[in-house]
Structure 1
Amino acid sequence: MKLRKAGIATVSVLALALTATACGDDKKEGGSGSEGGGKSIKIGIKFDQPGIGQKTPDGFAGFDVDVATFVAKELGYSEDQIEFVQTPSADRENALKNGDVEFIAASYSINDEREKLVDFAGPYLLAHQDLLVKADSDIAEGTDLNGKKLCSVAGSTSAQNVKKEIAPKAQLQERGTYSECLEGLAGGSIDALTTDDSILAGYAAQDQYKGKFKLAGLKLSNENYGIGVKEGNKDLKDKINKALEKMVADGAWEEAVKKNLGPAGYKNEPAPKIGVIVK
């Protein structure tokens, strides 16, 4: 009887050990996480920015999409393990804070206020704020916007920059998406749309709008695009930075820029150095 009890105890200990090991493996391999190799990963992008991040009938396309996909692969995820989540400008910080996404690549400019709320990998693109106007518009200088209707999206700093720096009397019109601003510009209810030149170039290059709009060519600010991660997640930030460095080194970065923004005649700045913010 004593031997039988000992045998049962041994089997029980072994079973517990195997269960603990299995649980440990599930924790490591399952779910969305920054370690890679998980079942899926949720990444925040824009759904309505041609050339940057856009949801199409064939899937997702744009420079940010290509960057996010490259980074995810370096973290250990295949394309079919990526779940893209729409993250409007006003929702980006909350999406990271609440854990709705693992990281965000959504024309996310690094600035002091945002760095108080989230951490940034990168930058991975240097863009400049500009204006998009109708092809026959006489708006050439920022001061011409005084009294004009200026559109941007809620949560963006672009329109506030214009009002503060060059056109304090511009009439700010906020919309939920850039597409809504563009519709207003095409219809005449908006005089100018302002955001980064990379985004504006993508809109101007769309087939239905070719020849109808023009970029004013003003470098109103420097916009350092970064990949947002939850505050304090240094491990994920470091891994993303390594992935971005690899993307530049092997030519994939330049290829992505030309494929997504080149058709609009966009002249990009050289790939920025990781951690170097151009003011």
Structure 2
Amino acid sequence: CDIIPYPLVSELKALNREQLMVTNEVSPNVSFWAFNTQKEPFDDPLVRQALSHAINREAIIQTIYYGNAELAQSILPPTSWAYDDRGIQYQYDPEKARRLLQEAGHSSLDITIWAMPVQRVYNPNARRMAELMQSDLAQIGVSARIVSYEWNTFRRRLSRGEHDTVLIGWYADNADPDNFFRPLLSCAAVATGGNRANWCHTGFDQLLYSAIATTNPEERKALYRSAQHLLNQQQPLLPIAHSKRFQAQQKSISGVELPPYGGINFRLATKKPVQEQSQ
């Protein structure tokens, strides 16, 4: 094997770096924890904020991604031209989580976390991630039961809104911010089933439509940044991580770049002859 486009993050340390070259970059993806805002008590922003502050996302990145991911401060990855994390706070703060939960009128809660039964680039182990979150939530008096089904059943029941919360994610096929916001959080996406938070906010939708309508790059950037700050206030979901994409190849191979949107391109690939490799 000359090239592996998707080596498992758990196996990166085992790769022989004397023979192999490993490259990586932050991919246009995000994993997140979505709250079903059409169900009580997740229709209350205070409850959503409380649950978000209870989650130790740094521990998740070390345990689930083996440190090979960036902590998400927005749905948008930091490589996006509209990314803005100024004033946006998703810190791990159990004391604040308990306080917000009490402010919302709850001393305890019983919830479910739906965990994908499949492995994805943005989330290599949703079940294990749910277990870590289950432990975090117990510290603030929230009992979380983990739910999972066969993948087709999981998606069907998810689209019907049967979940309380769900660990899911998104992998964009282009860099435009609208390719994150509209499929995941617009009112139209509630009807199509892509909006796993079932969250429809007319103010947020208006920001998206205004951003699409303008041809001024700075104005468009400002609108998308306002959208990110509105999401931070309303908290329909908690961004968790932007995973890195890795590619491992024999050092005898050159000319194979790491495409940001997946796949692999051998058009410019070259390989040293065996006699050159042995010199």
TM normalised by structure 1 equals 0.27
TM normalised by structure 2 equals 0.27
Q: Higher helix share goes to which structure?
A: 1
